[in-house]
Structure 1
């Protein structure tokens, strides 16, 4: 390594990787946010109307809602109307010089645009092409629209909520499918980039929501149906027990997990219930799992007797995992998050001061700390098109025809 390289400022692990991001809403933007956070140059292609998440939640200016701001930091916004020949031609120029092309359009739509894998790889054989869909192309659901709620229901998450004690099926109040599938897409693309370094070839990756989330759910809940013939029913009983919830104390709630044999031995002695040490229901993990409702019931009754502070201090002393129950509001003041510098305050050029959060992973030898605020619609159209070789007159013609939109200088 040269002295100049020694002195060079550290960069993110994906520095030098250019990603063309034709995704919208949440699943795809979450994946590409991860790329941007780790140094990739993410070019977000938007329609003239912009990503719909621009309009979700209370914002200071139209088109700059909080969900969009969190999902699209460290990206550049280029507005192209791909229904127009000029916009599509500009898109092809961007793809020709990119490392990754990622989208969440349905297969029929991406083929109509001529941006399917075969067409894109003909332009750029080294490109990693990633499509994120609702369902795999080989089954009867192929081509159907998919949203987080639909996938949660289709893979059984909503019904698991009912089995766990709710009066009827209910979706988890998180966009858990979009985010889990976005994570799968991000690590799949990262592996493809590593493979390309060894082979020199790009590849196609299809990431279907339904199959991805089915694998996540069934890893816990296939349970007895893992075996042929089944050794029992579906559903991990500990996760489905109605007692698996934050415990009420005399003055609030706490979260605690008295789980392994050592936890139970120390806890039972500390609450003067040594008699239960010989109770076969509490003897070992397998037995506690079989009697999980009784085990959780005992914990629930016991923890109601004293305050949250009492139990948190006791659990810390006997080394049993426990945490206070946060709300969304109290999480913002969590002392641990404050100590590790989790929250960041950034100044957005149009939205003013914002609170956001950094990259959770800690990197040594790479800089992943920079947080560039999410772009205004079309903020980088002109700059990116110039980088692709478009002249000033080319850009003016695209804007005049409506094939591109430029905002700002």
Structure 2
């Protein structure tokens, strides 16, 4: 089967979540990812209470399709091996604190001299320059500093983090795009370059288009929970059996569709509800009336009515419901096998390519599993992926 990035050599010096997620994306499309770990291993191997075969569940979630090599960069032997691998790589990605790779002799300028075609991606928390460059950064810290937490939650709850590692993942996705752009530029110009990205910048960038709103008004968007500043209704409502449904009516047409689905056609012409402007002016009354209506029937009944009408809605599903859904089971879940811990499932790459589909061919590697394969007696080599 064809792979879009087959033959691409990626030297992965990253750890924890952000960098490993980016290199996993490259590996899913066929890139040969060598994960370089310190003797103690990626800290994610030991993170969390849930483990399988000695590796943490978080590590297993973002490190498939890679080979693991242990190098002690504090030793001359380890540095020499890293340089030898970098000379053969197409991409190097690192998320050390700024300046550490330079001290280790693995900075961009030095590696560019020995491998001008190398695409060198640096991911940091606060950027490589500026007063905060050496501050430690984790996802929730960046969510706080970037303003993401300021607009998440409700006025009653105060600022909240998102329910998933937003800053980690959005940074990884933008980094992957940056690497692919740099590789395309290399095809045209014949030379690699540095791709530099901070979690802070990526998280601030992700807040478009609210940036323009803030610039024009000077007003910080409010914390509105499940509501929307310009759409009413745009909220969750509880059914008689205690389930929640997300309802959105983007214009008057969908308001009328919703009213028919609810068996409340009189609301279509109600002066406080009939138009978008009226609904915005009477947000609390709209929410109160819809809450009363949804509380009269159970989830199954409402799903049937809403689906038949063409209303915009979505059940707030539980995780057991999501991961037992037929589409998810057949399309998005893949079973892997840990050498010491048995089977476990991961989420497949969601990108669907007609000619070069993504594949999961390797389970996350054991620490140093491929040392003998890569660090041969004849010197450090980069053996073919199929060995």
Q: TM-score, normalised by structure 1?
A: 0.84
- Aligned residue in 2 for 1:337: 328
- Aligned residue in 2 for 1:317: 308
Change (3 A) 1:138 1:311: same
* Count of aligned positions: 374
Change (3 A) 1:223 1:71: same
Of 3, 12, 32 in structure 2, the residue corresponding to residue 21 of structure 1 is 12
Of 348, 358, 365 in structure 2, the residue corresponding to residue 368 of structure 1 is 358
Residue 175 in 1 paired to residue 161 in 2? no
- Aligned residue in 2 for 1:5: none
- Aligned residue in 1 for 2:371: 381
Residue 58 in 1 paired to residue 44 in 2? no
- Aligned residue in 2 for 1:185: 175
Q: Distance in 2 between matches of 1:143 and 1:223?
A: 30
- Aligned residue in 1 for 2:219: 233
Cα drift, residue 287 of structure 1: 5.6
Residue 211 in 1 paired to residue 201 in 2? yes
Change (3 A) 1:204 1:284: farther
Structure 2's unaligned 5+ residue stretches are 381-387
- Aligned residue in 1 for 2:295: 304
Residue 222 in 1 paired to residue 203 in 2? no
Residue 37 in 1 paired to residue 23 in 2? no
Equivalent residues of 2:67, 2:370 under 8 A apart: yes
Change (3 A) 1:19 1:137: same
Cα deviation digits, residues 192-227 of structure 1 (max 9, x gap): 11111111110111111111101212x154364231
Q: Distance in 2 between matches of 1:170 and 1:53?
A: 24
SS in 1 for 2:260: helix
Q: Distance in 1 between matches of 2:354 and 2:295?
A: 45
Q: Distance in 2 between matches of 1:281 and 1:108?
A: 61
Q: Distance in 2 between matches of 1:287 and 1:137?
A: 50
Q: Distance in 1 between matches of 2:279 and 2:133?
A: 43
- Aligned residue in 2 for 1:122: 113
Change (3 A) 1:110 1:299: farther
Structure 1's unaligned 5+ residue stretches are 1-9, 396-409
Cα deviation digits, residues 263-302 of structure 1 (max 9, x gap): 2111113334334334565455566456544443433332
Cα drift, residue 360 of structure 1: 1.2
Residue 158 in 1 paired to residue 149 in 2? yes
Residue 198 in 1 paired to residue 188 in 2? yes
- Aligned residue in 1 for 2:383: none
Q: Distance in 2 between matches of 1:320 and 1:26?
A: 38
Q: Distance in 2 between matches of 1:223 and 1:161?
A: 18
Residue 141 in 1 paired to residue 132 in 2? yes
Cα deviation digits, residues 364-394 of structure 1 (max 9, x gap): 11132333100000001121223xxx51xx5
RMSD of aligned C-alpha atoms?
2.3
Q: Distance in 2 between matches of 1:249 and 1:190?
A: 46
Q: TM-score, normalised by structure 2?
A: 0.89
Of 2, 21, 38 in structure 2, the residue corresponding to residue 11 of structure 1 is 2
Change (3 A) 1:237 1:78: closer
Q: Kindly indicate which of the two structures has a greater share of residues assigned to helix.
A: 1
Q: Distance in 2 between matches of 1:379 and 1:174?
A: 30
Change (3 A) 1:196 1:291: farther
Change (3 A) 1:235 1:292: farther
SS in 1 for 2:79: helix
Of 90, 94, 98 in structure 2, the residue corresponding to residue 107 of structure 1 is 98
Change (3 A) 1:84 1:329: same
